[in-house]
């Protein structure tokens, strides 16, 4: 029981570290994905999942910033 539990805990920690590294090393969206910025709107490419076709979305600047800051954790 202990060995199984320890293996699961180790896997969980590895998953958490992988998740954090992803956002520390690179921002939530690459500058290359931004297609256009004009008239207070941002047009960018994104993928729903790896290997899927790119989709294009246009948002207001505030809407775009809202998506970006969702990755920032609030202090308690």
pLDDT the model gives residue 75: 63
In angstroms, rounded to a whole number, what is the distance separating the alpha carbons of residues 40 and 61? 5
Q: How many residues does the chain have?
A: 76
pLDDT the model gives residue 21: 66
Ranked by mean pLDDT, the top range of 51-55, 56-60, 72-76 is 56-60
Percent residues over pLDDT 70 in the chain: 64
Q: What is the pLDDT of residues 8-32, one digit of tens each?
A: 666 677 777 676 666 666 677 788 8
State the DSSP H helix or E strand holding residue 46, giving kind and residue range, or none if neither: strand 41-46
């Amino acid at each position: 029981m202990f060995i199984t539990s320890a293996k699961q805990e180790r896997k969980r920690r590895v998953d958490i570290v992988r998740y954090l590294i992803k956002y520390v090393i690179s921002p939530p969206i690459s500058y290359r994905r931004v297609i256009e910025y004009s008239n207070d709107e941002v047009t960018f490419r994104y993928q729903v999942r790896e290997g899927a076709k790119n989709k294009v979305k246009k948002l207001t600047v505030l809407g775009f910033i809202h998506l970006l800051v969702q990755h920032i954790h609030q202090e308690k």
